[in-house]
Amino acid sequence: MKLSCLPVSLYPDLTAGTRTLVDWFNFAGELGLDGADVSVVHLQSKQSAYLQTLRRQATDAGVEIAMLVTYADFTHPDAAERTRQVEEIRAYCDVAAELGASFMRVTAGQAHPGVERADGIEWAVAGLTACLDKAAATGVTLCYENHTKGYAWTYNDFSQPADRFLEIVARTRGTSLRLLYDTANTLAAGDDPLAVLAQVKDRVAVVHVNDIQQAGRFQPVLLGAGVAPVQEIFAQLIQNGFDNWVSVEEASKTGEDGFRRAIPLAEQLWVRAGGAPRSK
């Protein structure tokens, strides 16, 4: 297992410019992480020189950029916008490759009012699969997440409830699309994360470690303070042979202390679940 982090609690600072991505990389290195995830909303440019500089800065901090996080909205009711979303995600494959990120998070899209279930699923499948050839050409693995709500999105993800997520997964079976499994998002929608994972575990490439205060409500809390069955999810994945990137999605808004507490706990839960300790 390699350990990374998506610094959601730092998003306001990164957005305001009071903290930079270089600051994030240095903090990630200080925390002893193997990787540091980056959201596209915090990139200042798609130019190669800028992206290569970020990659070097991450390396200098002792981490790699493990995942580029995107916010695809393939379920938008406007066909022209859906086409633009595909073009944008395909362009981000080049960005991820420049950054050295092996994985890129993709989403189905928002639950726009008036979009029927069948249409949304059809559009999500079409959008996700339309980007796979570009991802393969750039050496990037697209990972579809059981997502809740994107940063700056208006609506929750169309992938909830879990039956929609599972149908999209089923309809993309046999493709190179992999999964980013979040430990709390399915529970936040009132579904059983262990039962859902049992149906998709063979497709999971990366894990987001997240926790929520109570089932049926998306209210992130410090890892270990909520109800997400993180150790049980780890155990199921480990028994299935999973040994890849685990990314702590730290969204508790408890400052740097939240990172210092959540990251070691994630590693402890991994070991308690039967996983091998990190070598770093």
When pLDDT is cut at 50, 70 and 90, the band that residue 198 belongs to is very high
Which residues does 116 contact at the CB level (< 8 Å), separation at least 6?
A: none
- Average pLDDT of 173-191? 97
Question: Residue range 152-163: average pLDDT?
Answer: 96
Digit-coded pLDDT (tens) for 106-122 = 999 999 999 999 999 99
pLDDT over threshold 80, residue 30? yes
pTM of the model: 0.97
Helix (H, G, I), strand (E, B) or coil at 88: helix
pLDDT of 191 higher than 70? yes
pLDDT exceeds 90 at position 279 = no
The Cα–Cα gap between 26 and 24 comes to: 5
Q: Which residue has the tokens 């909303």?
A: 41
Q: What is the average pLDDT score of the chain?
A: 97
pLDDT tens digits for range 139-149: 999 999 999 99
Classified by CATH at the fold level, domain 2-272 comes out as TIM Barrel (3.20.20)
Each domain of the chain, given as residue ranges in start order, spans: 2-272
Q: What type of residue sits at position 240?
A: N
Q: Which residues pair with 214 in a beta bridge?
A: 217
pLDDT at 280: 64
